Structure 1
Amino acid sequence: MARQHKAEVMIAGEQLRLRLHDGKLIKERRYHLRTYPNCFVAQELIDWLVSHKEAPDRATAVRLMQHLMDHEIVHHVCDKRQLFKDAKLLYRFRKDDGTFPFNTEVKIFMRGQRLYEHLIGEKNSILQLREEHGVAYQRSFPGCQLIDWLLQNGEAESRCGGLDLCRALQEHGIIQHVLKKHDFFDSGLLYQFCINFRRRRRLSQLLHESEQDNDEGVVPSTQEDNHHDSPFVLRKNPPQETTNAFQSVASNKELKQVTSGRRGSLNSLQLHSAGFPPPVQLSSTSALKCNPQSVLHRTFTCEELMAPGGPFIKRVLTVIGDALGWGFVVRGIAPCYVQAVDPGSPAAAAGVKVRQFVYQVNGQCVLHLDHRTVSRLVMTGPRTVVLEVMEPLI
């Protein structure tokens, strides 16, 4: 479906953005006496795509980047050009300059990705190998168990709210009934996530899927999704496997290499997380290497923040999360700070701003904790989060 292809484009674009940050192709650049942060030169990027075999030739690479432009993943720094040119022009990812369109569809997508990452990262996940009518469905779950999980983890305030969320996820192509026969019900019917968020997307394949989508109205399954290790393939369950436990994606060496250190802001805490992120980075050990440039004008130590008479003021903010999350991203290691805020989120309404340092979360001092720990405290706590932040006086 076209909606699923759009989701694939979003994930592929985010994976590319993180790789480019890691490779230092995205950085601050000057043009006509003006400085543009987090930019890349189109010509350099085309060179990179071809040399890394993401595209067979420069023409295909340009078509690929135009595809990302059409889906509002990247844009010209001044939004004066609608076409992507293989030239010395500056472009940016919209996730890097805050212009990414966080509409309802994107927020639902990011919420789904955050839930997927949280579920798959649990030791006793509800995503398990389950059998129905002699067919095994990997990483499937009964609808009632997902709603139970949402309630236990503060993702829904009531069973009715959890049901509404799950139906929204199904409507946007994030989860589905294993046989695609039923809507979502609070029952024992089996469902699966339709998207493997951790699978590495091949950029060149986006063009092929787009053409198939236009010609046939459907998106064909990728080679990876048809692999016997895919969580979405349906197969007869061999007798010797009837009692096998669910195998986490982390046990797959290929997937582990792809995801290690690259599960960035798309699933970060989160922009309605979340996530293109999400809310928190659950397990990446080297995520900071892939993150965009810090929004801080300069770094501060915990001692500087707490020094008497320092240029900071404390504020207490109450953020009441909605069905899509809280709407902000934290980064940094002791102290952590607000890197981004979704303009239409509960965080923005509560007064959370970029460059604020997080001092307390629900009464617990977090000044000496890193962003992953702070994010986890928010995600695993109540939906109403009381933040004490420190912000510059000027």
Structure 2
Amino acid sequence: MEPYNSDLVIFAEKLREKMQDYKPALIRQRRPMFRAYPDVFMGCEAVTWVVNNSELKKTSEKNNNGSTIGESDSSLTECDAIGLFQKLMDAGLLRNVQTMEGFQNDRSLYRFSSDDHDQEGDTFVRSVAFGYRLYKNACDSTSGLFQKVCAFGQLVSSESLKASDIVSWLVTNGLCKSREAAVEQCASMCSHKVIKSVDPEVSEFGDDKSFFVFLVDYTRKPIQVAQFLSGSTPSGPQCSSITRNKHIHLRQTSDQLMDLSLHNSALLSGRNSRHKGLSTSSDDSGIENGSISPPSYKSLLKSDGSMTKEALLHPSAPFVKKDLKIFPDPVGYGFVIRGSGPCYVKIVDPDSPAGKAGLMAKQYIVNINSQLVTNLPHPEIEDLILNGPKLLKITIMQHIKCERRKASEPTISPPVTPTTPGKTRSSPPLPSAQPWMKKRDSDSYRGMHATVMSRS
């Protein structure tokens, strides 16, 4: 992220602070459908609050001559409020905790990204947001966080904070679960240039008596609502198309080349010798075309032939991608997953919702509710299923051989038995899943997750 994005984070934090201070607080724990969502607010309540809030107005700007630029002071409308929160979602500062949809003026629940303590969110957003909260608290004279630091008899800074005090503040306010996690968060704040050490010889943050000062100016004039709604303030996701396309091209190039460290030096030297006669050209990614060819699918497999996430996503991989939707019954979804980066389906109950939806064993899991999970272990994927919406949207990769075998299997219709007039033919009972379960090794079912366990 660019440095000017700190203004957007501060703008979102100030809006969050006003919503938190409103009575009753808009941001609080809510429990719809017997599940608790901490630090969330309801869309319809937030829209009503913005419309009725006299502090949030389309404040006009004036140039050097005193003439008005833009709109005059006026209250925000319902469309303005919806656009305000939607822009925050587009900038990655707000998200819907229930679905992947945009902002709606209904009872949907939303949470600021800085409050996503259990999610692997943007470290820049959290660093600037936590720095803003720390600065606001340190400005209170009763907190005693700010201290004067002198060097060689001269005042260096009157707004310095001791490292151990910052760690204690993060843990006490519930922003970090432990002091170790707080030290990691402070190290992230240092890397994003939110704070820096007073002593130039201190290169890393530690839970000690070192002093740090703020690099981000939290006292500068904030972004106005009209400026944010008009889109005149640049943001990370709304960067120029040239820069965005360049980043996309670089990311695609790295995905195509995969991990070249898998190839030994002899293979690379052999390829370079074969391509000495070829003309080389370079693109904006800085990688010469024609010097190194992308690795093949088989070369990306492990030495024992097992699957890797790079091989699974290779263009020539013998897999077919499928999107399935599974709605659980009172027992659960009816399948078990195992593995780690990528995970696969180990067992599926054919009479379960997963089996009826087309999920089969030996299928690799790519996405869970539109989130890429090829690099996650199976316990984290189970947590995503448990904490996600009830309707499970899963994307799997099925081997082409299994797909062809399934298509070539003949359909055998049951024999037709003649019926006499006045008598109804009773269909034979469906086979129970119990014999199918007994054939499996009981050790495979120990420690299964409650939401994905097979039904007995």
Settle same-fold status: TM greater than 0.5. Answer: no
Greater relative contact order, per chain length (Cα 8 Å cut-off, separation 6+): 1
Which structure is larger by alpha-carbon Rg, 1 or 2?
2
Normalising TM by the smaller chain, what interval?
0.3 to 0.5
